Amino acid sequence: MAERFRDIVVVGASAGGVEALRSFADGLPGDLPAAVLVVLHLPPGGASALPAILSRSGSLPAVAARSGEPLRHGRIYVAPPDHHLLVEDGACRLSRGPTENGYRPAIDALFRSAALSHGPAVIGVVLSGSLDDGSTGLDTIKSRGGLAIVQDPEDAIYPAMPENAMARVSVDHMVPAVEIGRVLAGRVREPVGVRDDQPLPLIEEIEARIARSDGPGNAVSLEVLDVSEPSGLGCPDCQGVLFSLDKEGTRYRCRVGHAWTAKALFQQQSRDIEQALWAALRALEEKRDLAGRMTRDAERRGYPLVAGRYSRHRDEAGHAALVLRKFLFEGLPTVTDLPDGASDETA
């Protein structure tokens, strides 16, 4: 069996991630014999200042990843906005494949690709974030013989991502972000055997190809239909049918490839509902105001029956608007509003 060392470190961060990544970079030794790849959830437009921030924060140089660039030890590769950062045959690969949990770059896409390409040579690191991004990818890393490290939730600005990762995966280390570098320095020098006899789960192989955007048209993402069942839920990105990727109903993809975890889907549905309700409130208030004008006009023209009808419409719309405004100001439930323990049922 071939032997190599752990030398691929993949890192995912979301909300509160810049501060966590700065601490992480500060703790990395300057002679780290591994390549570090970083995904931070970013808006799609513009350039990212993260490479410059990380270069100033620690001893390792950080650069924006370029597709086809060979991975070098002692360097941090940062996913650029609006592109998945993947690992393939010892090099970076950039892709504009479908979003995952509404993001591109996506943490799970990086973790999954590294695990499938380099197996036990990979170390996955989950930092601060508000939902469960990275949990599925970290599970894939562990299943391929890699290591799992999470930021101590008490050290994270947003602890949900590390907490959800620990609920799903038996992690190897849980430490503050600044101490992860010390842990890595000891673990990257460990020799590991490449387990080439373990078949890949079909769904993970398909998901990896979707992230790479392989295949003509959406032929690859259509393979999801063959290994999953319709969930009865709609995709927030394209309004297509979502298909369940597991029996527990914790992960979904649509026919064109958009991916969602149950928690991210719940959160996005709450946002969509709130947006629709604000639009309904605007329509109700406009109807109230218009009915009021028509009431006054009918009164001036001497049509009391017509004025009374419009007056009832005005009062009904006004009452509905008051009820809806009160509901909106009280807020819709989110994942973090659930009772203690309930948010972990699908982790």
Claim to verify: residue 98 and residue 118 sit in the same structural domain: yes
Looking at the fold, whether 46 and 157 belong to one and the same domain comes out as yes
Is residue 103 one of the residues assigned to a domain?
yes
Q: Residue 232 is which amino acid?
A: G
Whole-angstrom CA distances from 296 to 290, 315, 321, 322 are 10, 14, 20, 22
Of 234, 257, 280, which closes a domain? 257
What is the number of alpha carbons within 13 Å of residue 227 lying toward its C-beta? 17
Q: Of 51-65, 234-248, 299-313, which range is least confident?
A: 234-248
For residue 121, what is the domain's CATH number? 3.40.50.180
Same domain, 130 and 252: no
Averaged pLDDT for residues 12-37: 95
Both 295 and 150 in one domain: the answer is no
**Predicted confidence (pLDDT) at residue 344 exceeds the cutoff of 50:** no
Residues 269 and 230 in one domain: no
The average pLDDT across 215-227 equals 64
Residues 147 and 34: beta-carbon distance below 8 Å: no
Q: Same structural domain for residues 164 and 242?
A: no
CA distance 104 to 111: 13
Q: What are phi and psi of 200, to 5 degrees?
A: -80, 135
Q: For the chain, what is the mean pLDDT?
A: 88
Same domain membership, residue 102 and residue 186: yes
Domain housing 235: 216-257
19: in domain: yes
Question: Do the domain assignments include residue 187?
Answer: yes
Does residue 118 lie within any of the structural domains? yes
* Same domain flag for 253 and 268: no
Write the Ramachandran bin of 51: left for phi over 0, alpha for psi from -120 to 50, otherwise beta.
Answer: alpha
| Per-residue pLDDT at 10 exceeds 50 | yes
Running DSSP on this structure, what letter comes out for residue 34? S
In a domain, 342, yes or no: no
**Are 26 and 161 in the same domain?**
yes
Q: What is the Cα–Cα distance from 175 to 11, expressed in whole angstroms?
A: 14
Instruction: Note the pLDDT tens digit of each residue in 187-212.
Output: 998 888 655 446 667 777 788 888 88
pLDDT digits (tens, 9 = 90+) for 69-83: 999 999 999 999 999
Q: Which residue has the higher pLDDT, 266 or 225?
A: 266
Shared-domain flag, residues 31 and 71: yes
Any idea which residue has 């109230």 for tokens? 288
What does residue 296 show for φ and ψ, rounded to 5 degrees?
-65, -40
180, with CB counted inside 10 A (0-12, 13-18, 19+), is buried
Q: Give me the amino acid identity at 165.
A: A
Helix extents (H) in the chain: 17-26, 50-57, 107-118, 135-143, 160-168, 180-187, 202-212, 219-226, 262-301, 304-330
- pLDDT tens string 121-141: 999 999 999 999 999 999 999
| pLDDT class of 249 with cuts at 50, 70, 90 | confident
Location of structure tokens 């605007």: 282
What pLDDT, on the 0 to 100 scale, is given for residue 208? Answer: 81
pLDDT at 332: 61
Q: What is the mean pLDDT of residues 328-333?
A: 74
The answer as to whether 343 is a domain residue is no
Tell me: the pLDDT tens digits for 136-188? Answer: 999 999 999 999 999 999 999 999 999 999 999 999 999 999 999 999 999 99
* Cβ atoms 6, 122 nearer than 8 A: yes
Q: How many domains does the chain have?
A: 3
What pLDDT shows up at residue 179?
96
The candidate with the shortest Cα–Cα distance to 10, out of 209, 204, 144, is 144
Whether residue 228 is found in the same domain as residue 284: no
- Give the separation between CA 126 and CA 159, rounded to whole angstroms: 10
Using a pLDDT cut of 70, give the percent of the chain over it.
89
* pLDDT score recorded for residue 346: 34
Same domain, 181 and 45: yes
CA angle 160, 161, 165 (to 5 degrees): 115
For residue 203, being part of any structural domain is answered with: no
Active site residues: 14, 41, 133
Structural domain contains residue 199: no
Let me know how long the chain is.
Answer: 347
320: tokens are 């509905």
* pLDDT tens digits along 282-325: 999 999 999 999 999 999 999 999 999 999 999 999 999 999 99
